[in-house]
Chain A
């Protein structure tokens, strides 16, 4: 299988004044195209730090990160913006929709920065909202949507430029169990369609949906095992 993410000796040190915090202390792993991965671990174990680096939102202090063969150390900030725009679909725990901006406009946004013409943008955004089951609510503002609906808009937004990787940092962390289920169904479906999906979670129930569970502790990978997903929804 084709390797899409290649990580070697990845380290991240946060410098808070005189205090240094080593959030990642030498992570090695590869992720292949089409994998559905859960990243687990206790709070503070470095999961978000790792995801932010995968999403090109942050840079490693040391080590190698190649995304689709591109060493992200070779790129400047504006080039990383372009990589985020084209290659990463990021879903956050707190949804991160732009306030006072309709669901449709939120979904269009990555295409705006990707310089997609307006008519094409609108069409694609409508399609994606349809796909996540919000076809009729395209005109709603974020504050008029429930948590589950917001997260579905965020997923639609992450898909707009057809990125090779979809990253979700505790996407169900702010949702009730029913909405969590709906969201996980969408992720599974995306994976079945061939997308590479990486999800951070600390809930074993959520990890059960995936094919591979990687566990972090104190900035290191302590466990990496394959999983037989339980696709029947309770």
Chain B
């Protein structure tokens, strides 16, 4: 019998029992929708997170003392400018950027405007390496950093707020760095990268950059490092760590590192475990949904025993009846898969748009959900359909 006829028949059967068909689909709907919602949200989160990682650059890493190891020797484990110089000398080729990781914050008041500056200490070339847009002026040179010039780069939002215009290079402002009030000159205005974190920070605090040397002789517990392209990040880091341990006269494993690369690897590992467990949940719910379909199809076959008898008396072959019920089971579950996909995407869209993350819908996911559900329907519909197909025409016709 023609496929199309069977689809029409199945639609009639589904329509004439709307509530039951819906309840039958429910297992599939719940399974598919939860999987799709979670994977869509997961993909959204993943792309956001990897964008954040990319903002730092894959070859970015931090080096710091292993907190679990006691500083027994009394030798200072923290980093100073002499470490920077030693590293530059020894790893000149491998290192693209190295700086003491310095942070601070300062109240700022210009005229009637007040706000907070989150101060980041950086070295030369930082803006270029991280790909931040400089709108006006320039970034620090090696000279500026070495000579501890009181230069500052501020975001355009701060420029607008405190000076009422964009290009404020040459303007002066005073901030507190390492408990010292400094008169700074604005040498650059930059546009911050769009990021989910930038939405979370309040609009009265601004990230500003100054040379890390302005903290003077204060040591740092973290080194900020960028490795040049073409080097194995982990290998170079290992060399740097053992060298640092050597010059600090510490045990070789004293320093540890945390690279964006390794964080990304950890992240994708976590996401992998997550999707595997979602897959398991999906499998279970589809199994439950499939059993539901089998159950209802068995009921349907019993209810329609007489109809099957009539069809056979009119010339339906075993295969005709088999295909009819198989297609019905497949259609019910494919429909459930489609509704589930729609529901899942809807739920994910609501969730992601609340987090202001762009929703990307993968049409292959919908196709996959529908196709896989149809397969589930076929598998679990096979037994009831065979039962229907094998009915004896006379007994089926006599069925009350």
Which chain B residues lie closer than 8 Å to A188 at the CB level? none
**B residues within 8 A CB of A77?**
318
Encode contact with B along A90-131: 1 for CB under 8 Å, 0 otherwise: 101000111111000000011011110000000000000000
B248 at interface (Cβ–Cβ under 8 A)? no
- Knowing A81-B317, A86-B315, A98-B310, the reply to whether A57 touches B397 (Cβ < 8 A) is yes
Q: What residues on B are CB-neighbors of A97 within 8 Å?
A: 310
A140: Cβ under 8 A from any B Cβ: no
Write out, one digit per residue, whether chain B residues 179-190 have a CB within 8 A of any chain A CB (1) or not (0). 000000000000
Quick check: is B313 within 8 A (CB to CB) of the other chain? yes
| Residues of chain A with a CB closer than 8 A to B12's CB | 100-101
Q: Is there a chain B Cβ closer than 8 Å to A78's Cβ?
A: yes
Nearest CB of chain B from residue A15's CB, rounded to whole Å: 13
Complex interface: chain A residues within 8 A of B307 (CB): 98-99
Q: A58 touches which one: B1, B2, B310, B394 (CB < 8 A)?
A: B394
A55 in the interface (beta carbon within 8 A): yes
In the complex the two chains form, what is the Cα distance from A58 to B313 in whole Å? Answer: 10
Asked if A57 and B393 make an inter-chain contact with CB atoms under 8 angstroms apart, the answer reads yes
B interface majority secondary structure = helix
Q: In the bound complex, how far is the Cα of B316 from the Cα of A113, in angstroms?
A: 6
Residues of A within 8 A of B313 (CB): 55, 57, 84, 90, 96
Interface string of A135-164 (1 = CB under 8 A from B): 000000000000000000000010001000
Q: Does A85 contact B (CB under 8 A)?
A: yes
In the complex, per-residue mask of A37-76: 1 if CB is within 8 Å of any chain B CB, else 0: 0000000000000001001011000000000000000000
Complex CA distance for A88 and B5, rounded to whole angstroms: 23
**With contacts defined as CB atoms under 8 Å apart, how many contacts are there between chain A and chain B in the complex?**
62
CA distance A58 to B394 in the complex (A): 7
Chain A proximity of B62: nearest CB distance (Å): 71
Question: CB of B167 within 8 A of chain A?
Answer: no
State whether the Cβ of B314 lies closer than 8 Å to any Cβ in chain A: yes
B238 CB-CB contact with A under 8 Å: no
CB distance from A70 to the nearest CB of B (A): 15
> Once the chains are docked, how many angstroms separate the CA of A58 from the CA of B2?
27
Mask of B8-28 contacts with A, CB within 8 angstroms, 1/0 = 000010001000000000000
Residues in chain B near residue A55, CB distance under 8 A:
313
Q: Decide: A82 near B311, CB < 8 A? Known: A113-B1, A113-B320.
A: no
Q: Which residue of B lies closest to A160 (CB)?
A: B314
The answer for the CA separation of A97 and B393 in the assembled complex, in Å, is: 15
B16 near A100 with CB under 8 A, answer yes
CB closest residue in chain B, given A110: B314
Chain A residues within an 8 Å CB radius of B393: 57-58
Q: Kindly list chain A residues whose C-beta atoms are within 8 Å of the C-beta of B316.
A: 81, 113
11 A-B residue pairs with CB within 8 Å: A77-B318, A82-B317, A84-B313, A85-B314, A90-B313, A96-B309, A98-B311, A113-B317, A113-B320, A114-B315, A115-B2
Apart from A57-B394, A82-B317, A113-B315, list 4 A-B contacts with CB within 8 A.
A81-B312, A81-B317, A101-B12, A115-B1
Residues of A at the B interface (CB closer than 8 Å) are 52, 55, 57-58, 77-78, 81-82, 84-86, 90, 92, 96-101, 109-110, 112-115, 157, 161
**Chain A to chain B: the 3 pairs with minimum beta-carbon distance, closest first:** A85-B315, A113-B315, A81-B317
